[in-house]
Structure 1
C-alpha cells in the first residue's frame, strides 16, 4: 500500500459551497455507439440523520444510504421491508484512544540513557516510579526524561502504560456487543478484527490478550501503578499533590459511542477518578483531539471510530497507522511543534513491513506478529468492537458491489449503481460536510464523508480487489520485474529523480541498481481528458511527482508540513528513479522494494494523479508561497491558518486568485516540466489551463477537477448536499458495467462436530466449511481459566470442504479431566479476504475417574474373600480334631462367606450398571478401559468358583462325621454363593 492512494484503510468517520448549474454541452456530447462513464447520469447526495433513514426511504427521498452505522434495531425494521435490501459488512471499528503525554519533561546534557532511573530521578528532582520514558536526541545532544507525575506539574494517569493496559479490563465488551450493538458487532482486542485477512496470523496473540471484563483486576493494576508513582486515594478519589485527578473524556454523541463512552466513564468514576464528560459531535471532537498538542491535556480519552475504505490481503499500513508514531496517527500526530508519543521499536518494525524490508513471507509474518504484540502491550488504544455495518438500498438497485471491507462505501458502487428507468439516484449520508471534511489530496480526505463522494470523481492507477484484497490494475495495467529480495536490477542512466535542493529533475546516471521495476501502461490517462476538457499529459504526471517529492525533501516545505513529509518519506525513500516511454505511453518505476506477492510491488510504485497540474501549482502557491493555508490538520493548527479545502467558497476564491496571478505574471515553472532536454509543457499550454480552470470554478463553484466517471458539479456545506454528474467524454476509458462485482461468496464455518475428547487418547473433531476454495482451517486450544495457549495448528483437509482437527494422545494426556477448554476455529480462503471465526468449549473425559472405584471394589472384595476363606480353612482343620461344635463354626463361617461375597458382588454389579449408564453415549471410546475392568472381574469370578469347589471337597471329607441335616445346611449355603456369582457374571 502506498501513500498515493490515500487508502490508509481506516478513515475517521466525519463538504463546500457551490452553485448548482447545468453542465456545458461540450462535456455531455458522447459517441452514439458507445456510452462512457458511470451507469447513472446524476447522483445527488444529501444529509440524512440516522433517525430519519426509514422515513426517507418510505417517502422516496433516497434510493441508497451510504452510512453503515445504522442502529441494529432500525436495520431490523428495514430488513422486513420488501422494497429494500440491507447489506452487511464489518466496515466500522470502535476504540478508546488514551493520551499518554507526560506532565513534565526534564532534560540532561549528553546521552544519559544508560543511567538507572533512580539516578535520573535524583538528577531531575522527581520519582523514579513516575518516569514513563527516557530517550536521547542526538541532534540536540540531550537526554529527555518524561514524567507521568511531577510535583507542582500535576499528573496524567494515562502516561503510565500499566494504567492504559488496565483499561481493557474495565471494558465490558460482551455487554457492548450484545446490549448496545444488539449483536451487530463483535469484540475486538487489537486493531485487526476477527474478519480481517491477517487475523489468522495473529489469532493466538489476540487470544492470549483476550481481555475479560474484570474491574477488580483493573483496580488492582491501577492502584499498584499509581501508588508507586506518588498518587494517593483520599475519600475514594485518586489525587496527586493534594489535587484530585480529573480526566477529560471526549465522547461522541452521533451513534452508539455515546453509550460506550458513558459505560467506561462510569467505570472510571467507580475506580476513583473524576471524569469530565465532554459530549461532542464529529467536528469539535476531531479539532480537539487531533488538532491540539496532547501536552495541553484538553483530552485524556476519546471514543474513536473508523470506517474502512477497502481491504488488503497483506496489511502494511494499518499496523503502522494504529501503532507507530512515524505514520502520524499516534498522539502528537507527527506534528513537530507538538509533544509526540515515541516508540523506536514499533517504528522500526512497522517501517520494515511498510517498506518491504524483509526477505520472505515468513520474515514479514514474524515482524507483523512482534508489532501486534508490542502494540497491544503499549495500550495507547483499547479496542472495543467491530461494527457489522448495515447498508440500505432500494431492492431494484443494480450494479452495486458489497466490498468485503467497506460495504457499499468502496470505490466501486457509486460508479456502477443504477435503477431501471431512472437517470438520477438520490443518496443519503450521515453528513455531507463537517468542520473536518477536507478536500485536498495532500493532507485531506481523512473522513468518510469526503472520501465516499470523491471516489466517484477519481480513477486510481491500481486498487485492491473488493473480495480477495489483492492489488489489481484499475486505470493502468502493469508488469513487475524484480530481483528481490536480495538481488538487484540495472537502472537505465536516463531514469530521473527530483532534486529538491536544486529544484530540477536529474538523471540517475550509470551504475545505479534497484530491487524491482514496474512498468505502468498509462494509455488510459495520457490523451484522455480532465473534467474541464483539458487533455491529460505527461506534464500532469510530473507535476504530481514534483509536489510529493518537494514537500518531502525540500527542507522548508518539510518543516512546514512535517506530518505529511514524515509519511511520504517512507515511500519516496525507496524510489530510485522514473523513466517515461513516450512512444508507448509507459511509465517505468525503479525502486528498492520487494514483496513476495508481486502485485504489491506495483501497488507500492503507483503514482495516482488527482488534479491537473495548474491546480497542483495553485495549491502549493497558497500553502507555501503565500502561507495562507496548510495541507494537513496538524500544520493548520500549528500555523493558525485554515486547512486548504477545494470545495469551500472562500478557499475556492483564493484558488481562482492564484490562477489569475499565474495568468497575469505569465507564471510557468519550467523546471517542473523539463527532464533533460525534453520539455513536457509550454507556457501557452499552461495559460490555456489556467483559463480553463477559472472557467470551471466560475461554473461549478469548486476547484476539484479530476479524471473519474463523475464530475463534482455542486457542493453546499450549508445545505449539506452535493451533486455528481456523469462524465461522458469519449476519451474516458470505461463504460458502465466494467467494475461490477456484486456480492462476495464468503467463507463460513457451517458445523463443528461435537468433540469427544478422552484423556490420553487421540481426538478428532470434524469441521465443515462453505466458501470459495482453497479453504483453510486454523485452530487454537486455550485454557479458559489461565488464558494459556495450549496448541496452535492447522486442520487437515479430509474431503471437499470438510476438515479434521486432530488432537494427539500426547496432548490430551496432559489435559485436566472435566475442565472446560476453549477451542477457536478460524476458517479462511485465498479467494476472499474474509475470515470466519467460531469458538466453543470442550470438556475432557478421563475413564479412570469412573473405572477406578470399580477396580478398588474388586480389590476390596478379593481381600475380604481371602480373609474369610482363611478363617474357613482354619475351622475345617479344627473339625478334624473336635466335635459338632466345630462343625457349627464351619457352618457359621460358610454362611458369613456367602453373605459377604453376595453383598460385595451385588455392590459390584450395581457399580458396573452405573458405569454402563455413564458411558452409554460415548460411542465406544471407553471400550478399551472397560475391557480391562471386565477381565479383572472375570478373573475374580473364576477365582471364587475355584474357592467354592475347594470348599465343597472339604465338606465331602466331613460327610462321615456330621449328621445329614448339617450337611444340607452347608450345601445350601454353598449353592447360594454359586448362584450369586452366576447372576453377577450374567449382569456383567
Structure 2
C-alpha cells in the first residue's frame, strides 16, 4: 500500500530503446508497436505552451535496487519510487550521472483490520479490540525500525500527524508527552494482549493462542518491493513471540491492493498490512487527518466503511475536519484530544517518517515537492525538462502502473496513478512545493470574507482577506438538490431566507477558463462544472440511481458546512461560495472551494452504465452491486462504455438534462459525442483531460503508459519554472553538557542555509522544549534571536532546579516562512549538585 494524502489525499522509447522490466529486456517499440514520434527539441521556449517534453513514458520497474544503474545507463531519466536504502543513496551521491531531490512527507505504518471479533469464517480477529491495537504501540520499537531497517533515513513516529508538518510544531509539547506514554514497553504490551485475548475466549496451548480449538493465525500482507518486507518480518517475529501464528503474504502493490482495498474486511483475507502514505503537498493544516485515517468519512473503500471510532473521537475528528473551533486555542485543545483518542483507537500503528531520495538523470530538471517528492509534486508536469533543450522524451520508472481503476469520481487514490493523472488534468490552483500555499493557475484572484474573530491569515497577494460582522447568503444561491426534478434549489425555495455563513469566497477565473480544450478537442464549458456539482449531491440521495452509501459520510460532512453556490458571471466566470468550513490559511480555504470540471459527455456514459448496474464509480458500490469498478483506461469497463456511447449518440442524451440542457445546443451535444468517439477509436480508451499532456496509449500487459505533449494547453511553458532547492534551515545547537544546580545555563543555536545565516524575518516561529530524564516536559518557551543568524535559550536557576539531578535534554523547533516544515535540534545535558560542578 502506498497511497497519497492530499486535498483532495501513495507509471522505452518509440525509436527502439530497450525497456528493462522485472529483470527482462524488451524492445519496447516492437513489443507495443508504437509509431515513431517526431521529436521537437528545436522548439523555442518563448513560443511553447504547456509541458516542456514531447513524450513521457511510464514503465514498470519493481526492483528498486536496479534504479540507480538503470538511470546511469540511460534506460530511465527519472524514477517515481523514492529511495530509502542507505547503500543505494551512497551510490547515487557518488555518481556523476545522477542527481537527486530529497523529500520528507512519506510515512510507514501498519494498517489493522477492525472487523470482528470474528470473521465470516468464524476465525478470531484480535485487532477488533481497540486495547490490543493500542498495545501494538508498546510492542514495537520504532527506533529499531528507523535506525536498523531504514539505516537512519527515517525518524520514529508514533502519532497520526507527521513530525515534518507545521502542526507538529504547534502541539509539540503535548505531542512529546503522548509519545512518551507510548514508548517501547514490550512487557506492558504483552500483559494487555494476554488479558484481552482471554476476554475474547482464547487460551494458550503450547504457548500458542487458540480460539474455538484453532490456532489464532494472523494473515499479514507484507509489501515485498521495499523496506516494508523487513518491517513486516520484524513485526511478524514480535507477534509470534506474543503467542500468535503468522501467515506472511508477500505481495507487490497490485496484489496487495486487491486484498486490503478491494475486499470486505469481514471476509478475513488479512489482519495487518504494511502500509505507506505520502502527502502530495506540504500539509500546512493536518487537522483533518484524524477524520481521514480513522472514520468512514475518509474514503469510500470497504475498509474505511468498517471503522467504528468511539463517539467522542468521531465528534472531535469531525469538528477538526470541519473547522468547528472558535480560535487557535480551542483548535490546539481539540488536536491534543484527537491525538490521545487516536492512540486509544490505533486502527493504524504509525512507525516512521521517511526521508526519501528521488534519483534523476543529471541532465533532467524538475520541481520536486518538499513533502511528496517528484511523485507527489503537483507541478512536476509543468517543470520536467532536459537542462539543455526543449522537447525530447523522458522515461520514468514506476513500481506499478494502473494499480487501481481510473475514474475522476471515486477512482484510484494510488500514489503513482495519481502522479500520472496530474499530467493529464489541469487545476484551478497549484500548491507551492516548499510552503504548501496555493498559487493561482486557472484562477485570476479570489476575495475571501470571514466572520469577525475567525482564525484565518493570508500570505500571498492574489487572495484578499476581509472580515465582516455578519455574512448573509443570497436568496438565489443554490443550496440543495431536487433529485426528482434534477435541478438545484435556492435558499429561498428551501425556506432558508436570511441564512448566514461563516465565510464567503468570490472566485474570479481567468478569461481562458471556458476557452480551453479537452484532449479530444471539445471546448470546456459550464456544463462540465455543473455535472460535477450535481453528481456530488445525487450520489448521496437514496432515490438516485447513482446513490452510493460509501459517499454519504463524506457528503454529510460537506453538507453540514455548505451554505450555497452562486454563479455571479459566466463570462468571465465568477463563482461565489458560502461555507462554514475554515482552515488556518486563506489560500487553502480558496483551494477547497474551487470548481471542479469533468467532461460531461464521458461522465454521462459512466452514469448510464452505473444506472444499469454494469459499472460503479467506487470500489465499495462495485462490490455491493456486483459490478465492475469503473475504469476509463482499461479492462472490462471499456466495451460497456462503448455500448453506452452508441446509445447516447443515437438519443442525444445528456446527464441531468434539466440542469445542463439550457446550456447546450443539439450541435454541441453531437460534436461532443463525435469527439469522444474519434478519441476512443484513435487512443483505445476514454481518459481525456485538460492538462499539459494527453494519454497517447495504454499498455496494461507490458506495464506502460505513453503521454504526449498537448499543444493546445493555454499557458506558456516557462510559467512554473524557477523553483530551486528548498531553503530548509540547518540548526547547530551548542551548550553545556553539565549544569550545576543554582546556576544559569545558556544554549546557542545557529540557523543557516547553504552556509549563510537565516535572518529572523525569515523565521515564523522558534520554540524550545525542556525535558527531564524521564522525558517529562518541564518547560517550553520562545527562543530569543540575538542577530547574525544566532539564537539563544537561557535557562534560569529555577528552571534548572525543576529538572532534578541527572540527564535531561533541550529541544528546539524552528519553522521557516519559506519552507513549511519544522526543523529540530536537541542536546542532552546533566544537572549535578553544586559541589560537583567542577568535576
Bin the TM-score by the shorter chain.
0.7 to 0.9
Whole-angstrom distance in 1 between the partners of 2:520 and 2:213:
65
Is the CA contact 1:9–1:309 (under 8 Å) kept in the aligned structure 2?
no
**How far apart are residue 830 of structure 1 and its match?**
2.8
User: Which residue in the other structure is 1:620 paired with?
Assistant: 607
Counterpart check, 1:52 vs 2:35 = no
Is 1:707 equivalent to 2:695 in the alignment?
no
Where does residue 758 of structure 1 map in the other structure?
A: 740
Report if the CA contact (8 A) 1:322-1:330 is conserved.
no
For the residues of structure 2 that align with 1:252 and 1:31, how far apart are their CA atoms?
45
Q: In the alignment, what sits opposite 2:103?
A: 89
Q: CA RMSD in A?
A: 3.0
SS in 2 for 1:513: coil
Give the conservation status (yes or no) of the 8 Å contact 1:64–1:394: yes
Deviation at 1:831, TM superposition (A): 2.4
Structure 1 residue 353: Cα displacement: 1.9
Q: 1:382 to 1:42 in 2, by over 3 A?
A: same
Q: Which residue of 1 is the match for residue 341 of structure 2?
A: 374
Distance 1:674 1:6, change over 3 A: farther
Residues 23-47 of structure 1 show CA distances to partners (whole Å, capped at 9, x for unaligned) of 999x99x999732111112112212
1:727/1:331 CA distance change after superposition, 3 Å: closer
Q: 1:189 to 1:682 in 2, by over 3 A?
A: same
* Aligned residue runs from structure 1 range 196-595, under 5 A: 196-208=165-177, 209-210=179-180, 211-328=182-299, 332-334=303-305, 339-398=306-365, 400-409=366-375, 410-419=377-386, 420-421=388-389, 423-434=391-402, 436-484=403-451, 487-501=469-483, 502-509=485-492, 510-522=497-509, 523-553=511-541, 555-557=543-545, 560-580=547-567, 581-595=569-583
What SS does structure 1 have at the residue aligned with 2:385?
coil
* Offset, 1:554: 5.0
Secondary structure at the aligned position of 2:236 is classed as helix
1:828 aligns with 815
Gaps of 5+ in 1: 105-147, 851-917, 921-988
Matched with 2:138 is 169
1:193 pairs, out of 162, 187, 198, with: 162
- Aligned mates of 1:10, 1:759 — CA distance in 2: 50
CA distance 1:788–1:329, shift in 2 (3 Å): farther
Quote the residue 2:93 is aligned against: 79
Q: Distance in 2 between matches of 1:377 and 1:331?
A: 22
Contact 1:432 1:717 in 2 (8 A): no
Cα distance change on mapping 1:752 and 1:425 into 2, 3 Å: farther
Shift in CA distance, 723/70, structure 1 to aligned 2, threshold 3 Å: farther
Secondary structure of 1:614's aligned partner: helix
SS in 2 for 1:536: coil
SS of 1:494's partner is: coil
Q: Identify which of 755, 765, 782 aligns with 1:776.
A: 765
TM-score, structure 2 as length reference: 0.87
Partner of residue 61 from structure 1, selected from 68, 75, 87: 75
SS of residue in 1 equivalent to 2:628 = coil
Could you tell me which of 727, 732, 736 is aligned with 1:745? 727
What secondary structure sits across from 1:455 in the alignment?
helix
CA distance in 2, matches of 1:307, 1:456: 18
2:634 matches 1:657: no
| Moved segments of 4+, more than 4 Å | 17-25, 30-33
Aligned equivalents of 1:315, 1:56: Cα separation in 2: 37
Corresponding position: 1:37 with 2:50: yes
Alpha-carbon distance between aligned partners in 2 of 1:156 and 1:217, rounded to the nearest angstrom: 21
Is the Cα–Cα contact under 8 Å of residues 440 and 644 in structure 1 kept in the other structure? yes
Q: How many Å apart are 1:503 and its aligned residue? A: 1.4
Q: Aligned in 2, Cα 1:343/1:291: closer, same or farther, shift over 3 Å?
A: farther
- Name the residue aligned to 2:129: 160
More strand per residue: 1 or 2?
2
Partner of 2:653: 667
- Counterpart secondary structure, 2:278: strand
1-structure distance, mates of 2:218, 2:405: 30
Distance in 1 (alpha carbons) for counterparts of 2:440 and 2:322: 21
- State the secondary structure of the residue aligned to 2:304: coil
> What does residue range 726-737 of structure 1 map to in structure 2 within 5 Å?
726-729=709-712, 732-737=714-719
Q: CA deviation at 1:266?
A: 0.8
1:442/1:564 contact within 8 Å kept? no
Tell me how far 1:846 sits from its aligned partner: 1.4
- Please say if residues 778 and 802 of structure 2, whose CA atoms lie closer than 8 Å, have aligned partners that are also in contact: no
Question: What is the CA distance between 1:262 and its match in structure 2?
Answer: 0.5
Q: CA deviation at 1:153?
A: 5.6
- Give the 3-state SS of the residue equivalent to 2:425 in structure 1: coil
Q: Give deviations 1:308-336, integer Å, cap 9, x for gaps.
A: 211221224323222333323897322xx
Question: 1:7 — aligned with what?
Answer: 6
Counterpart position of 1:961? none
Greater helix share, structure number: 1
Match of 2:634 in 1: 648
Change (3 A) 1:672 1:178: farther
Report what 2:838 is aligned to: 919
Report whether the alignment pairs 1:794 with 2:794: no
Call closer, same or farther: CA 1:455–1:756 in 2, change over 3 Å. Answer: same
Q: For residues 303 and 619 of structure 2, what CA distance do their matches in structure 1 show? A: 12
Contact 1:44 1:724 (C-alpha < 8 Å) held by counterparts: yes
Taking structure 1 as reference, are residues 344 and 73 closer, same or farther at Cα in structure 2, changes over 3 Å only? same
| Whole-angstrom CA distance in 2 between matches of 1:776 and 1:311 | 17
Q: Distance in 2 between matches of 1:19 and 1:670?
A: 41
For structure 2, the 5+ residue unaligned runs are: 12-30, 454-468
* More displaced stretch, 348-357 vs 511-520: 511-520
The residue matched to 1:697 in structure 2 has which SS?
Answer: helix
* C-alpha spacing 1:591/1:683, structure 2 compared with 1 (3 Å): farther
Deviation at residue 561 of structure 1 after TM alignment:
2.0
1:948-967 matched pairs, under 5 angstroms: none
The Cα shift of 1:716 comes to 0.9
CA–CA separation in structure 1 for the residues paired with 2:123 and 2:291:
31
Alignment of 1:822-971 (within 5 A): 822-848=809-835, 850=836, 919=838
Distance (Å, rounded) in 1 between the aligned partners of 2:116 and 2:333 = 32
| Counterpart Cα distance in 1 of 2:195 and 2:499 | 57
What is the SS of the residue equivalent to 1:36? coil
- 2 CA distance for matches of 1:22 and 1:83? 27
Structure of larger gyration radius: 1
Residues 244 and 669 of structure 1: is their aligned pair in 2 closer, same or farther, counting only changes over 3 Å?
closer
Q: For residue 739 of structure 1, report the CA deviation from its aligned partner.
A: 4.7
Q: CA deviation at 1:841?
A: 1.9
Q: In the TM superposition, what is the alpha-carbon distance from 1:19 to its structure 2 partner?
A: 8.2
Contact 2:698 2:706 in 1 (8 A): yes
Q: 1:631 aligns with which of 617, 634, 638?
A: 617
CA distance in 1, matches of 2:743, 2:647: 84
Shift of 1:392: 0.9
The alpha-carbon deviation at position 551 of structure 1 amounts to 1.3
